[in-house]
Amino acid sequence: MNPALQTFYIVIQLLILAALALSTLYIFVFSCAGLFYRQPVYPPRTLYRKIAVLIPGYKEDDVIMEVAREALLQDYPGEQYDIVIIADSFRPETLACLRELPIKVVEVKFDKSTKSKALNKAMEVLTGSYDIAVVLDADNVMAIDFLTKINACFEKDFMAVQGHRTAKNTNTPLAILDAVSEEINNHIFRKGHRVLGLSSAIIGSGMAFRYGFFKELMAEVKAVGGFDKEIELKLLKDGYKIEYLNDALVFDEKVQKAEVFSNQRRRWLSAQLHYFRKDFFTALKQLVLKGNADYFDKAIQFIQPPRILLLGSVFLFGAAFVVFNFIFGICFCYSILWGIVMILCLLTFLFSIPGAFYTKETMRAMASLPKGMILMMGSLLKIKGANKTFIHTKHGSVNPGINKEN
């Protein structure tokens, strides 16, 4: 190979290797830490705080009745929690049925709907004194002891707590991959982070806050997409820790269609890129001047490539460069480095995936990984402005009776 061309090839290889190695090393460290996670014990107390369970939904007529009924099955004292359905553009017959239940219904309609607008409107009109706000998605089903465990956690001085969001359906290969992805993120960004003394990431649902604090915080939020990212950054910037309760379960519908998968990821990726640009240098300044590692770590998280794309990129680029290095007679040390990165990446995923997913169904779902990677790449190419546009994720059936099964 021509010396100039060889130099160019090596430089390109090193740049790609460095980018992928740093991303892999980041999640590898937290995946290892997550193996040592132990659920903190917060004994139930006799003090039952008043809880508002806020469930915003946009045109969720198909699922909201079942969600509302399931939400009323908590083992928490009934007089100490209210289920609040925030109904945006629901059908009149759905609203009539909801009002027959012992819940609160806040009907809203906006020119441009957002989850943050719905939550703010609900807290504006709600009467009564609440201690805790729990935020769910319109398809979420709480485990029967969810509120009890959340209440116990607030015996400590946490302002925010993230519950364990997990799959309630694994009925398609794409749903299985989505469920696995959720648990990988739980392991790395929640368990692993808490082990190393950093805050848990919040997800946008299955999360709880001190009510007055949350109401004031949300009043400042103007995000169209990614409102949870905005409040998370505000919390970390101000030095608050976010707890994670791995045993406080919220069951979440996993995507079953490619179009829904693409739209959902497009919204998430756009929000992450937006907040990375907005907060990175502020977070770096706070790290240097105030030692705020939590805030800086969150900014770094936002520039991490999606796990499914990282996995594909590491193995595709790694295999290609190993082959080309052999063909062109390039120093074998580069191929060794690629091998190390591929092993670390593989170990990260093996450490992070719960044992319950090591099944034949998951292995068959792995055949859909290339499709998932292509969809994710397509989402990356379409993220411009997605955080400024309301993208609705339509949900299907709720799987009623889930608390009887668990």
Q: Could you read off the pLDDT of 39-97 as tens digits, one per residue?
A: 888 887 679 999 999 999 999 999 999 999 999 999 999 999 999 999 999 999 999 99
How far, in Å, are 64, 250, 358, 368 from residue 354 at the CA level? 30, 17, 8, 19
- Within-domain flag for 235: yes
Radius of gyration of the chain (CA): 22
Residue 400 has pLDDT above 60, yes or no: no
Residues 25 and 82 in one domain: no
Asked whether the whole model's pTM tops 0.85, one would answer yes
Q: State the angle between helix axes of 258-290 and 293-301 in degrees (0 to 180), rounded to the nearest 10.
A: 150
Name the residue with tokens 């999360």: 207
| Strands annotated E in 175-301 | 207-210, 242-252
User: 219 in helix, strand or coil?
Assistant: helix
Structural domain count, the chain: 2
- How far apart are alpha carbons 304 and 301 in whole angstroms? 5
Residue pLDDT, tens place only, 207-227:
999 999 999 999 988 776 678
The pLDDT of 319-348, averaged and rounded, is 96
Residue pLDDT, tens place only, 233-258:
999 999 999 999 999 999 999 876 65
Residues 214 and 85 in one domain: yes
- Within-domain flag for 225: yes
Tell me, what's the pLDDT at 42? Answer: 84
- Within-domain flag for 398: no
Residue 306 has pLDDT above 90, yes or no: no
Q: Other CB atoms closer than 10 Å to residue 240's CB: what's the count?
A: 17
Residues 13 and 75 in one domain: no
Residues 243 and 97 in one domain: yes
Tell me, what's the pLDDT at 65? Answer: 96
Residue 192 has pLDDT above 70, yes or no: yes
Q: How high does pLDDT run on average in the chain?
A: 89
* Cβ pair 235, 351 in contact under 8 A: no
- Within-domain flag for 370: yes
Write the DSSP symbol of residue 101.
Answer: S
Q: Which of 170, 163, 193, 202 is nearest to 74 (CA)?
A: 163
187: tokens are 């392991």
Residues 214 and 360 in one domain: no
Residues 248 and 329 in one domain: no
The three-point CA angle 21-25-31 to 5° equals 145
- Within-domain flag for 264: no
- Within-domain flag for 183: no
CATH number for 244: 3.90.550.10
The three-point CA angle 50-55-56 to 5° equals 135
Residues 139 and 251 in one domain: yes
Residue 271 has pLDDT above 80, yes or no: no
Q: In terms of residue numbers, what domain contains 347?
A: 3-36+276-388
* Cβ pair 218, 231 in contact under 8 A: yes
Tell me, what's the pLDDT at 172? Answer: 87
- Within-domain flag for 128: yes
Tell me, what's the pLDDT at 398? Answer: 46
10: tokens are 């090596």
Residue pLDDT, tens place only, 135-181:
999 999 999 999 999 999 999 989 999 999 999 988 888 889 889 99
Q: Name residue 183's amino acid.
A: E
Could you tell me what percent of the chain has a pLDDT over 70? 88
Name the residue with tokens 């997409």: 225
Residues 16 and 86 in one domain: no
Residues 207 and 339 in one domain: no
Residues 91 and 229 in one domain: yes
Q: Is the dihedral of CA 319, 320, 325, 327 positive or negative?
A: positive
Residues 253 and 280 in one domain: no
Helix (H), strand (E) counts: the chain? 16, 8
Residues 102 and 238 in one domain: yes
* Residues facing 52 on adjacent strands: 82, 133
Question: Which of 21-30, 80-89, 108-117, 379-388 comes out lowest in average pLDDT?
Answer: 379-388
- Within-domain flag for 184: no
Q: Is the dihedral of CA 91, 112, 381, 265 positive or negative?
A: negative
Residue 263 has pLDDT above 70, yes or no: no
Residues 6 or more apart whose Cβ sits within 8 Å of residue 179: 166, 167, 170, 254, 357
